[in-house]
Amino acid sequence: MGLIRFKPITPGRRFFDTDDFTDITTKEPYKPLTKGKKSTGGRNNYGEITSWWRGGGHKKLYRIIDFKRDKRNIEAKVEHIEYDPNRSARIARLLYADGERRYIIAPLGLKAGDKVIAGEKGEIAPGNNYPLKNIPLGTFVHNVELKPGKGGQLARAAGSQVQLLAKEGRYAHLRLPSGEIRMVLLECRATIGQVSNIDHENKSLGKAGRSRWLGRRPHNRGVSMNPVDHPLGGGEGKTSGGRHPCTPWGKPTKGFKTRKVRKPSSKYIIKRRK
């Protein structure tokens, strides 16, 4: 698992990095665990653009991931480590002892042939899933639930990990990838280990066309627009905007706090993110 660099035989190859995919053991997904994924182009159900600069890109099949890990106390063998176009992490295809197959987010170090289990307590090994109350302090985990039984919501992207710092009363104290320290119920479940594909953050797309393959369209600046389109638009010649950076709707950016002051979950945050 790593990155491949190319000789700059064309301008597009000069800064082009790609995965070596040595951790992938099969090219084809398990069809019963996939479903079609419709491209939105950044539009909502009214046809309005709600997410700008989206559209095009390669077709994708959605892989149905088991975030809940609700098949308890049945050992599973890792059949394959697979590529997933819908996320930055790798996914692992599990074959349970009763014959059922499921996908999970693959932790770092998990290989085809390894055994994993989801239960109440057991070996602290990558891929095993337990309640936070039965995981030792200092352990790094991922795919952490925020509500018992809802399924993992925290630390699911490539290279992510959450550290279990303390247990106090009904709550565990977790350090999130952002640096935030947060309280989560001890009944919530988490998977042991760090998420796979840690080199993802070092990848360079290298050319504009590769962004288009991912469904990302060109993003133009506010100062290059007309006044009708953006608060920074207009002016004779090239202008710098004349005010602090803001969104097309006038909300400040670059450091402006957008979190609601009275958000109900704020009481669970011990230390704010950096």
pLDDT by 10s per residue, the chain, length 274 = 789 999 999 999 999 999 999 999 999 999 999 999 999 999 999 999 999 999 999 999 999 999 999 999 999 999 999 999 999 999 999 999 999 999 999 999 999 999 999 999 999 999 999 999 999 999 999 999 999 999 999 999 999 999 999 999 999 999 999 999 999 999 999 999 999 999 999 999 999 999 999 999 999 999 999 999 999 999 999 988 889 999 999 999 999 998 999 999 999 999 998 7
pLDDT of residue 180: 96
pLDDT of residue 241: 86
pLDDT of residue 1: 72
Burial bucket for residue 57 (CB in 10 Å: 0-12, 13-18, 19+): middle
Burial bucket for residue 240 (CB in 10 Å: 0-12, 13-18, 19+): exposed
Q: For the CA atoms of 18, 78, 59, 16, what is the dihedral angle to 10 degrees?
A: 0
Structure pTM?
0.92
Give me the CATH code for the 3-201 domain, please. 2.40.50.140
pLDDT of residue 37: 94
Torsion sign over Cα 106, 110, 116, 118: negative
Closest CA to 138 of 110, 162, 163: 163
